[in-house]
Amino acid sequence: MSFIKNISLSLITFISVVKVSASSALCLTPNSHVKMFASSFRSGILERAQNIALDKTNFKNSESIHAENDLDLINKITHSFESGCKILVGLYTSKECLLIGPIAKKNNAIIISPTCGHPDIEQFNGNIFTLVPSLETYMNFVSKALSDEDKKDKDMLVIFQPSDLFSNKSYLLFKSKYMGNIKSLRLNSDGDFYKEDLNLLAQKYTTIHILTYPIVAAKALTELNNKKFISKDMTLIGSSSWAFDTTVLSKYIDIVKIFNRSLVPTLMKQETLTSSDFYKEYSKKYNEPPLGIHFMGFDAVNISKECLVKTINKKIDHTLIKKCLIENKFNGVSGKLNFNNKTPFVSREIYLTNLTKMLQMQD
Amino acid sequence: MNLRKLILKFLIAFSLISASILFFSLLAINTYTIKNRENLESLYLESTFEIYKNDLVGLMLIEDKETLSSLLQEISQKRLVDITVSTEAFMLSTTDKNILDSSIFTVSNGTSKIGDVFLKLKERRNLFNSSKEIFFLIFLQIIVFLIGYYFVTNQFQTKIAKPIVMLTNAKFNDNLNSFNMPDDAIEEVHKLATSIQNLYKEIVENEKNKTIALITRQVAHDIRSPLSALAMILSTLNEISEDKRILIRSAVQRINDIANDLLSKGKTAQNSDADINIFYTRNSNQNSDDCMLIPTIDALISEKRIQIRDKINLEIEYDSQKCFDAFIKINTKDISRVLSNLINNSIESFDEKGGKISVTVQQDDLSTLVIIKDNGKGMPREILEKLGKLSISYGKQNSESGSGLGFMHAKNIIEKNNGVLKIHSTLNKGTEVKIIIPKSQTPDWFANSLNITKKCKIFCLDDDYSIHQVWKRKFEFYTNKFANIKIFNYTSIKEFKESVAGLQNQKDILYLIDQEYIDQNENGLQIIEDLQIADKSILVTSRFDDDEIVAKCIKLGVKLLPKSMSGSIPIILK
């Protein structure tokens, strides 16, 4: 049942991102004169992580603000920044970070994002801190890992979604870094292949590399399986947003199992996650296991809280928070996290994980 | 026209109608669509913008042209629109066409304008440029038509046509009686098959009856000529005694009656396919009359006894005590034939060992009961239940009869005359047939008693001496002790006339006069009429069943007594 709930939650979340674009904002008031403002595109996910993180603290008078779309999000966050909020926890998508980045910069506010990884965030260094390494770093790791597979002389089929900011950027970065031959198969936002690209399926490939959201990828995999395109001698690798969560793919494990190997570069070790207190507390509170992005959200809130606590009774200034973030090493439930003043992206480990085993553990 | 063609016609008509309805529906939809197209187009474009607004706004603000361009292409393909995005910094479009006539949607963040989105339908669609859809619908209808045709014809073929053809073939091949309708045939065809089978059986039976009737008619015709010769010769036979003559005459008469009856029925049957039962009963109704039962049975028993005289161990007992004046409401010929058939059945129920047949007559105030009982081989119950139908007989496989006509005829005749025929039989023990017939009133012309006085003089005229003996023994009791009755017997008409001359006015005289006299010119009724002694005479004759004689008796007021009943008529002494 937990698996189905996870799937459902992921699906709902995905739909909210792609179709409805519902957003939420959370404003916390640790004391009478200090406000911590958090925002999330994936509202329910951040709220649950925040609830776990703040349950045992003296943060009270919390405030949650929900945004209907990007414009609504911009307006509400602008209003909050102008009202004195200096720390923003949330913003899951790169698009959100890129939209809110200029506003944060203008208002000297700090954004602590659980998952924004777009390289263009660099321009907001000092205002945005994200718990993921840069997409460039990530894709560099992926291309290096695949190049090491000694199959770079064979064609790789790369599946991506040009109309999605993160997927498109992931593809462009991978393409620029990978040394082997690649053929690109495009998907639309419904997960359907571009008709003009279907002729690519007449050829055999050693590796299928998917660079889009897992739920879209699941539909693409199903279609490929229906076309008898997948064979035992193939390798499957899912990167880009697969780094944060692949739970939805548990339903398609039979297709994943067909591949000779299935890999996913992740930011978290599955074994570490399931043994954490957060995992147990979350499972007990919500009667289902947390997703990968819950861990990221939990760490983002905790880091914010930690820095906020260290600056308590002082006049809140973004420089104090920034200093706290840069000078401290954080040991989060998702892994060890280190920030510096040169880049908004965190310095953390990337693991090349066996997808099949990971899905079996998640199930 | 066969069934397939009929169904094809029906389906073509149905298809044409449905195609017409489809066409006019499409036309109506198209007309409505054209009428409301602008509004619909506007709503469609507005909804398209709303669906992608958030994605568009984000990318417009971020100014990621590459991703935005891909998104525009995706929107264009999925929504079949041309889309152009314009901001202060850039403009992206999926078309080179003029965008001035597009729907414009302005995007702002509430305080300042971000840009414009232009949306326009790629093509205006209507019924007549949507030929693919039309052809698809027509193709779909053809497919539905073919499937429908196959299904309907298959069903009709399996459930109706094929069973009917099988039924027809079975009839022509004369296998109708053993024909079994397939289970998947519809109920109505099953009923039709059953009806045809029943009808076929009736036709076969009628054909059989027709054949029987033809044979019957031929037999009747062939019998008549020798009968005539026999009757002529009989009138010239002087050397045989009267009782034998009576018997022969009676037998000849009965054969003649039967021949006439057969001829009549044969004609009726040949000219009509009517049910055999009707054919028999109608004929007997036409000749319905009262019957003097005892002499009829007497004659019949006599005939049967002669018939079985070669069968040493077979005897017929007859008891008609207390039924002297039994008259029943039935034609004499018919009851005679009925009883003959039934007695024949009894006779045929014996093997060489023989047995006994008893015929008993009883009566009460309303009805007369005739019981024919034998201790022959009897019949099993299943045969008893079917008796009364044609072709049902038992134990006659080796005899010339056996059509079942005898019993069926008997039952029909009796029931048609408001009587009842009951049969009870036990296998290997025997059979008992009871006939109950309503009584009819004793006619005035019938002599049901001899009314005499103590001084009565009885003049008996008969050329048969045996009759003289009968009367002598009958009146013997009255001639000695109780009365002074005198009997005068004559064989010669001349002597008789001479003796009674001058006695016409005297009382206490009874004349018992025979009707027929060998080698004498007059008959009994002529003598009575001539002597004017009708009120004192009883015509004692074997020809009691002759309608002319009876009519003459009625006319003259002469009582009539069957000669065979001479011994049993009661005497009333006044």
Distances (CA, A) of B521 to B242, B493, B542: 17, 9, 18
CA distances from B150 to B15, B140, B141, B158 (A): 14, 15, 14, 12
Chain A positions in Cβ-Cβ contact with residue B71 (cut-off 8 Å): 162-163, 189
| Distance of alpha carbon A95 from alpha carbon B124, whole angstroms | 36
**Residues A165-183: tens digit of each pLDDT:** 999 999 999 999 888 889 9
By the 10 Å C-beta count (0-12 exposed, 13-18 middle, 19+ buried), B127 is classed as middle
Contact A70 B58 (CB under 8 A): yes
**Backbone φ and ψ of A312, nearest 5°:** -65, 150
Does residue B555 surpass a pLDDT of 70? yes
Which of the residues A23, A69, A70 would you substitute to probe the B interface, choosing the one with the greatest number of B C-beta atoms within 10 Å? A70
Helix (H) or strand (E) holding A266: strand A261-266
Inter-chain residue contact A71 with B57, CB threshold 8 Å: yes
**Do A319 and A109 contact (CB within 8 A), yes or no?**
no
Lowest mean pLDDT among A198-207, B389-398, B530-539: B389-398
Query: Quick one: residue A228, left, alpha or beta (phi over 0 = left, psi -120 to 50 = alpha)?
Result: left
Spatial strand order of the sheet with A181-186 comes to: A181-186, A155-160, A207-211, A235-238, A261-266, A351-354
Measured in degrees and rounded to the nearest 5, phi and psi for residue A311 equal -105, 10
Chain CA centroid to CA A302, Å:
17
* B65 in reach of chain A (CB within 8 A): no
Res A265: pLDDT: 92
Between B439 and B273, name the one with better pLDDT. Answer: B439
Lowest-pLDDT range, A37-41, B224-228, B366-370? A37-41
- DSSP code string of B258-306: HHHHHHHHHHHHHH----HHHHHHHHHHHT--EEEHHHHHHHHHHHHHH
pLDDT for residue B525: 93
DSSP for B142-205, written as a single string: HHHHHHHHHHHHHHHIIIIIHHHHHHHHHHHTT-TTT----TTS-HHHHHHHHHHHHHHHHHHH
CATH architecture of B275-438: 2-Layer Sandwich (3.30)
Ranges of chain A whose pLDDT falls below 50: 1-41, 61
Cα separation of B448 and B571, whole Å? 9
- Cβ-based neighbours of A54, under 8 Å, separated by 6 or more: A28, A62, A301, A305
- CATH class of domain segment(s) A135-266: alpha beta
- Residue B224's pLDDT band, with cuts at 50, 70 and 90, is low
Question: A165, B62: Cβ pair inside 8 Å?
Answer: yes
Q: Quote the pLDDT of residue A23.
A: 38
Would you tell me which residues 73-92 of chain B have a C-beta closer than 8 angstroms to some C-beta of chain A? Answer: 73-74, 77-78
Domain ranges, ordered by start, for chain B: 52-127, 275-438, 450-573
Pairing assessment for the beta strands B457-461 and B450-452 based on DSSP bridges: unpaired
Which residue type, as a one-letter code, is found at position B516? E
Contact B381, B457 (CB under 8 A): no
Other CB atoms within 10 Å distance of the CB of residue A339: 23
Residues A165, B64: C-beta atoms closer than 8 Å:
yes
Collapsed DSSP state (helix, strand, coil) of residue B431? strand
Instruction: Note whether A70 contacts B61, CB cutoff 8 Å.
Output: yes
State the pLDDT at residue B434. Answer: 94
Model ipTM value: 0.83
The nearest CA of chain A is from the CA of B107 a distance in Å of 10
Q: How many other C-beta atoms are found inside a 10 Å radius of the C-beta of residue B428?
A: 10
Most confident of A62-66, B114-118, B263-267, B461-465: B114-118
Copy the structure tokens of residue B476: 């013997």
> What is the structure's pLDDT at A32?
28
What is the pLDDT at residue B298? 80
Average pLDDT over residues B173-189: 74
State both tokens at A234. 């193939």
Identify the band that residue B349 occupies on the pLDDT scale cut at 50, 70 and 90. Answer: confident
The CATH topology of domain A2-133+274-338 is: Rossmann fold (3.40.50)
Residue with token string 């920034």 = A322
pLDDT value at position B463?
83
The reported pLDDT for the residue numbered B259 is: 66
Confidence tier at B431 by pLDDT (50, 70, 90):
very high
- Residues of B within 8 A of A98 (CB-CB) are 61-62
Say if residue B128's pLDDT is above 60.
no
Interface of B with A in 105-124 (CB under 8 A): 109-110
Pair B83, B66: CB distance under 8 Å? no
Confidence of residue B235 (pLDDT cuts 50, 70, 90): low
Q: How far apart are CA A212 and CA B570, in angstroms?
A: 134
Residues in chain B: 574
Q: Strands B290-292 and A128-130, how do they pair?
A: unpaired
Amino acid at B124: R
How far is residue B122 from each of residues B51, B65, B250, measured CA to CA in Å?
A: 18, 23, 118
Report the b/e string of B275-303 with b at 16+ CB within 10 A.
ebbebbbebbeeeeebbbbbbbbbbbbbb
Structure tokens belonging to residue A231? 């064979």
Mutation pick from A165, A170, A194, A212 vs chain B, by most beta carbons of B within 10 Å, is A165
State the pLDDT confidence band at B571, using cuts at 50, 70 and 90.
confident
CB atoms within 10 A of CB A115: 28
Under CATH, which architecture does the B450-573 domain have? 3-Layer(aba) Sandwich (3.40)
Alpha helices in A16-87 (DSSP H): 43-54, 70-82
Reported as a single tens digit per residue, the pLDDT across A273-314 is: 888 889 999 999 999 888 888 899 889 888 888 887 777 656
Q: Among all residues of chain B, which has the CA nearest to that of A193?
A: B74
Strand, coil or helix: what is B369?
A: strand
C-alpha closest to that of A30 among A307, A345, A341: A307
pTM: 0.49
Most confident of A187-191, B263-267, B283-287: A187-191
Residue B61: which of A19, A99, A168 has the nearest Cβ?
Answer: A99
CA distances from A201 to A191, A221, A234, A238, A259 (A): 16, 13, 14, 18, 16
pLDDT of residue B393 exceeding 80, the answer is no
Within chain A, how many helices (H) and strands (E) appear?
13, 14
Least CB-CB distance to B62: which of A21, A69, A98? Answer: A98
Picking from A58, A60, A110, the residue whose alpha carbon sits closest to that of residue A318 is A110
Where in the sequence of chain A do the CATH 3.40.50.2300 domains occur? 2-133+274-338, 135-266
CB B15 within 8 A of CB B145: yes
Please give the Cα distance from B492 to B518 (Å, whole number). Answer: 10
